[in-house]
Structure 1
Amino acid sequence: MKATIWHNPNCGTSRKTLAILQETPGAEVEVIEYLKKPPSAEKLGQLYRDAGISPQQGLRMRGTDAAERGLPDADDGTVLAAMAAEPVLIERPLVETDKGVRLCRPQEKVHEIL
């Protein structure tokens, strides 16, 4: 099974989620450090749709200026464009497998798609 994780190595939850993936028998893990290689607005839109959440639910609020910029109340396109331009606004980790996508907070949510 292929699993892609949009990962921040400085985030404990992201590291724990990656460890779960690496310990899963048969998992072929692709790690994308999204702060270095941000996903496009289109890719983010697809990930959130597949996860069953809105882009606003995928916003990282802590340590960002998302609230001050009004992003929690902005339309999807505005939020996705802001995330693509400033990937620090993306809550992590996002994991995609053939079984779906999850925003893995807490990290145990990854088991839903393994």
Structure 2
Amino acid sequence: MKATIWHNPKCGTSRKTLEILKERQGIDLTVVEYLKEPPSRAKLSQLFADAGMSPQEGLRLRGTDAEERGLPDASDEDVLAAMEADPILINRPLVETEKGVRLCRPQDLVFEIL
């Protein structure tokens, strides 16, 4: 099974999710440090749609200025544009497999798509 994790190595939950993926047999893993290689707006839109969530639900509030910028109440397009321009606004870790996409907070949510 192929799996891609949009990972931040400074995040404990992201590191724990990555460990789960590495320990699992038969996973062809791609690790994307999204702060260095941000996903495109189209990719973000696809990930959130496949996860069954809105861009606002994938918005990182803690440690960002998202609330001050009014992003929790902004349009999907405005949130996606902000995330594309400033990837720290993307909540993590996002994991994609052929079984779906999950925002793995907590990390055990990754098991739903393995």
TM-score by length of 2: 0.99
The runs of 4+ residues in structure 1 deviating greater than 4 Å are: none
CA distance in 2, matches of 1:29, 1:108: 17
Aligned position for 1:41:
41
Matched, 1:22 2:22: yes
One-letter identity of the residue aligned with 1:89: L
Aligned position for 2:86:
86
CA distance in 1, matches of 2:99, 2:30: 16
1:19-59 residue CA offsets vs partner (Å, 9 max, x unmatched)? 00001110011000000000011100000000000000000
CA distance in 1, matches of 2:9, 2:23: 17
One-letter identity of the residue aligned with 2:5: I
CA RMSD of aligned residues (A): 0.3
One-letter identity of the residue aligned with 1:94: L
Matched, 1:11 2:11: yes
User: Deviation at 1:67?
Assistant: 0.3
Work out the percentage of aligned pairs sharing the same amino acid: 73
CA distance in 2, matches of 1:16, 1:61: 20
User: Deviation at 1:92?
Assistant: 0.2
Aligned position for 1:62:
62
Q: Any gaps of 5 or more consecutive residues in structure 2?
A: none
CA distance in 2, matches of 1:39, 1:85: 10
User: Deviation at 1:12?
Assistant: 0.3
